Amino acid sequence: MPKPYKSPLEKKLAYLLGLASVEGVDLASLKWSYIIPRIHFSISFNVLFNFMLNLYLSLSLHFHMPELDFEMPEFPKFFGILPEKIKYEEIEAIEKAQYGVTNYDYSYYDPKEARSVDLARCAWDLRYKTTERDTPAYKHTDKACGYWTEQYVSNLTSAGVRKEYAQAIVDAIAKAEGKILNSGYWDFAVFDVSKFVEEKKPTGPFKDVFKARSPEDWKTELELETLGVYECHWDWDRFDYARWGDTYEGMSIEVDPKLGEILQEKIEDFWKRTGIIEQHGQKVLYQRIFWWQRVQRMHEYGGKHQISLQYLKNDINRLLNQKGVPGMFKIPYLNFAQELYYMYYTPYRRYKQWRKVLTPDDLLAKYKNMGCDEEILKEIKGVVEKWQMK
């Protein structure tokens, strides 16, 4: 006897009920509870990386921290020049330029077309392309990283960001990666995650060094001297965006221990949201509560979105068949359609929302450079735009 027809949305609901039913949540919670230590390790690694990257984006590129998705401290308040026998003095915070208000030499000009939050999301997205999310290791090297870097710089440049500024963001990611993977500092490290710097004697007195991948090819490892959490290096940092000055000679840029306390609070806060909590006098896995809250949202919002995207891909596939595009050569065209579709969709992961600074023509140029036929791309663009009007 044939089974009764079920709409795609009904099938999606059946899947979700199986996942989020009492039995489904029990099984998922049991598995989750076994891997909590691994989850906490991953959280520590990502929060530490986020802190280090934002530190350089703040001090060198003057990102406005209150704009970011996750609350970040005002980093200049926690760093100072500390020569011997001189009282601790905070690093000067550089203000955003205001016509007729701030001095030209003591202010910076940020890109008008992209906010700090968009650029920070872009940086974090690129970080996911280059470094593993759950383990302190490289994800891609050489050509793969070079491809992603080129695309990101090109996209930001087309959005009005100065090319040197976009490249400086990439440099900050590479330096943050090197520091997180190959160095650790007291009051700013996570045990079992951070690797403390190696003391070496290249020339003259002993100096601490760490290795970082060159952002030019993401393969060559450079050996850089280090004095503290924040510092600038010759042949790496850019004169227009780094904190250079004779006042740093013979001195060290020190970090206030309170910054390490904020880092610890951030990590512990994320830990609480992934482990056992007390609810109405009972100890329960927090994720159990979280999963139940998301069932309806996954069905009504995520479910319809997935089904709509699949129907769109079916239409694009028929178009490609009519154009005589064979099997594997369809993949970049389908990827173009999906990426263009997501320009009109607000994803759950905030770091992916940076793509809203792009235009459809930016994506079309990207896939044209990859070897796709421009006329076919334009037809696909028309199909996607019609779907958005439904």
**pLDDT tens digit string along 286-336?**
777 777 666 666 656 656 677 777 888 889 999 999 989 888 889 999 999
Is residue 3 included in any domain, yes or no?
Answer: no
Residue 340: pLDDT above 50?
yes
Is residue 282 included in any domain, yes or no?
Answer: no
Highest mean pLDDT among 24-33, 155-164, 217-226 belongs to 217-226
The CA-based angle 348-179-245, given to 5 degrees, is 110
Q: Give the C-alpha separation, 155 to 367, whole Å.
A: 12
Residue 210: beta bridge partners? 224
Residues 267 and 321 in one domain: no
Residues 223 and 160 in one domain: yes
Give the contacts of 230 (CB within 8 A, at least 6 positions apart). 55, 56, 59, 79, 253, 255
* Of 15-19, 173-177, 360-364, minimum mean pLDDT range: 15-19
Burial (CB < 10 A; 0-12, 13-18, 19+), residue 207, is middle
Residue 111: pLDDT above 70?
no
Q: How confident is the model at residue 307, as a pLDDT?
A: 76
Residue 160: pLDDT above 70?
yes
Is residue 42 included in any domain, yes or no?
Answer: no
302 three-state secondary structure: helix
pTM: 0.77
Q: How confident is the model at residue 178, as a pLDDT?
A: 92
Is residue 204 included in any domain, yes or no?
Answer: yes
Residues 66 and 188 in one domain: yes
Residues 267 and 291 in one domain: no
Which pLDDT band holds residue 245 (cuts at 50, 70, 90)?
very low
Q: How confident is the model at residue 320, as a pLDDT?
A: 93
Residues 176 and 247 in one domain: yes
Highest mean pLDDT among 246-255, 257-266, 306-315 belongs to 257-266
Last residue of a domain, one of 271, 304, 323: 271
Q: How confident is the model at residue 365, as a pLDDT?
A: 86
Residue 6: pLDDT above 80?
no
Q: How confident is the model at residue 3, as a pLDDT?
A: 64
Residue 154: pLDDT above 90?
no
Residues 220 and 326 in one domain: no
Residues 80 and 155 in one domain: yes
Other C-beta atoms lying within 10 Å of the C-beta of residue 346: 9
Highest mean pLDDT among 83-92, 142-151, 186-195, 271-280 belongs to 142-151
Q: Give the C-alpha separation, 140 to 132, whole Å.
A: 8
For 204: left if phi > 0, alpha if psi spans -120 to 50, otherwise beta; the answer is left
Highest mean pLDDT among 175-189, 227-241, 294-308 belongs to 175-189
Q: Give the C-alpha separation, 286 to 275, whole Å.
A: 6
The whole domain housing 203 covers 47-271
Contact present, 89 and 138 (Cβ < 8 Å) = no
Residues 344 and 312 in one domain: yes
Residues 260 and 324 in one domain: no
84 three-state secondary structure: coil
Residues 328 and 195 in one domain: no
Domain tally, the chain: 2
Closest CA to 172 of 277, 339, 262, 52: 52
Which pLDDT band holds residue 49 (cuts at 50, 70, 90)?
very high
What are the pLDDT digits (tens) for 194-206? 776 655 554 544 4
Closest CA to 387 of 336, 316, 294: 316
Q: How confident is the model at residue 170, as a pLDDT?
A: 94
Which pLDDT band holds residue 156 (cuts at 50, 70, 90)?
confident
Last residue of a domain, one of 271, 297, 326: 271
* Of 219-223, 254-258, 325-329, minimum mean pLDDT range: 254-258
Which pLDDT band holds residue 176 (cuts at 50, 70, 90)?
very high
Contact present, 119 and 352 (Cβ < 8 Å) = no
Query: For 135-138, which contacts have Cβ atoms below 8 Å and span 24 or more sequence positions?
Result: 135/42, 135/45, 136/45, 136/180, 136/181, 136/193, 136/195, 137/181, 138/213
Residues 335 and 264 in one domain: no
Q: How confident is the model at residue 293, as a pLDDT?
A: 67
Is residue 242 included in any domain, yes or no?
Answer: yes
Residue 246: pLDDT above 60?
no
Which pLDDT band holds residue 248 (cuts at 50, 70, 90)?
very low
Is residue 1 included in any domain, yes or no?
Answer: no
Q: Give the C-alpha separation, 363 to 333, whole Å.
A: 11
Is residue 58 included in any domain, yes or no?
Answer: yes
Which pLDDT band holds residue 2 (cuts at 50, 70, 90)?
low
Q: How confident is the model at residue 237, as a pLDDT?
A: 81
Is residue 183 included in any domain, yes or no?
Answer: yes
Question: How high does pLDDT run on average in the chain?
Answer: 78
Last residue of a domain, one of 236, 271, 306: 271
Q: How confident is the model at residue 67, as a pLDDT?
A: 82
Highest mean pLDDT among 93-107, 213-227, 246-260, 287-301 belongs to 213-227
Burial (CB < 10 A; 0-12, 13-18, 19+), residue 108, is middle
